[in-house]
């Protein structure tokens, strides 16, 4: 699953990376520890317009923050057909159990650039409540598997366009996007328990704790 993530890339990089054509009311200040039920930056397609705005992290009506990709097309068929979106991020956290401790680890692209989580959004029954979104998850790649048995569906480049723009005849092809992101394009390292508190939101959340951790051969240490 994915229960915390970061989004620190500048607005200009996000707009360029995802070919955003319009921006709604959204706070794009750097966030190092985004938590469930907070407002997150999302991108949705409206006709020929690609709009960047804010949704609450948690899918109505029960506030699910993650949805298993394997069953999303059946369990949330209407949203899968009509309400797909991208949640903007540049890193995410998972926790590994080590004895009595749960050690947080930070995952990001080696490029350090922004990426997107494949997500679904839904309106609330309360018309005055902001619509919410949930991140799709899939089996882990080699680097995440050393820490957790699931990972968020990470999309970049053309995969983002396919996820947003697919029409009814193309929905079967979307399943090809819901797969583990290549491990050789990612890096990971343990971070301080400082990130465990939802009240903490600073660069300390993503700072390496006690040096880098190599999880799979060929995965490089985080750069200073």
Give 98-155 pLDDT, tens digit per residue: 888 999 999 999 999 999 999 999 998 776 678 999 999 999 999 999 999 999 999 9
DSSP code for 215: -
Q: What is the pLDDT of residue 126?
A: 76
Query: What is the maximal distance between C-alpha atoms in the chain?
Result: 52
Catalytic residue (choose from 94, 138, 160, 187): 94
pLDDT tier at 169 (50, 70, 90 boundaries)?
low
In the chain, domain spans: 4-206
Q: Is the dihedral of CA 216, 217, 223, 224 positive or negative?
A: positive
DSSP code for 18: T
CATH 3.90.1680.10 fits 4-206, yes or no: yes
Nearest C-alpha neighbor of 17 from the set 28, 25, 32: 28
Across the range 59-74, mean pLDDT stands at 93
Question: Pairing state of beta strands 154-155 and 115-122?
Answer: antiparallel
Query: Is 98 labeled as catalytic in the residue annotation?
Result: no
pLDDT in tens, 8-55: 999 999 999 999 999 999 999 999 999 999 999 999 998 889 999 999
The contacts of residue 147 (CB under 8 Å, 6+ apart) are: 94, 95, 96, 105, 188, 215
The contacts of residue 74 (CB under 8 Å, 6+ apart) are: none
Query: Is 142 labeled as catalytic in the residue annotation?
Result: no
């Amino acid at each position: 699953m994915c229960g915390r993530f970061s989004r620190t890339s500048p607005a200009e990089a996000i707009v360029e990376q995802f070919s955003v054509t319009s921006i709604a009311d959204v706070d794009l200040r750097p966030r190092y520890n985004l938590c469930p039920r907070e407002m997150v930056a999302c991108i949705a397609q409206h006709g020929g317009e690609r709009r960047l705005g804010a949704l609450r992290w948690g899918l109505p009506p029960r506030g699910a923050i993650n949805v298993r990709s394997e069953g999303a097309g059946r369990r949330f068929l209407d949203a899968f057909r009509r309400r797909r979106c991208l949640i903007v991020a540049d890193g995410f956290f998972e926790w590994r159990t080590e004895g009595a401790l749960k050690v947080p680890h930070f995952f990001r692209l080696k490029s350090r650039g922004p990426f997107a989580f494949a997500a679904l959004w839904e309106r609330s029954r309360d018309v005055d409540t902001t619509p919410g979104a949930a991140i799709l998850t899939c089996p882990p790649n080699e680097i995440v598997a050393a820490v957790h048995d699931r990972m968020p569906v990470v999309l970049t480049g053309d995969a983002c366009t396919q996820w947003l723009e697919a029409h009814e005849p193309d929905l079967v092809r979307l399943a090809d996007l819901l797969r583990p992101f290549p491990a050789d394009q990612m890096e990971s390292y343990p971070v301080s328990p400082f990130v465990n508190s939802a009240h903490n939101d600073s660069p300390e959340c993503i700072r390496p704790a006690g040096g880098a951790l190599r999880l799979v051969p060929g995965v490089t240490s985080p750069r200073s």
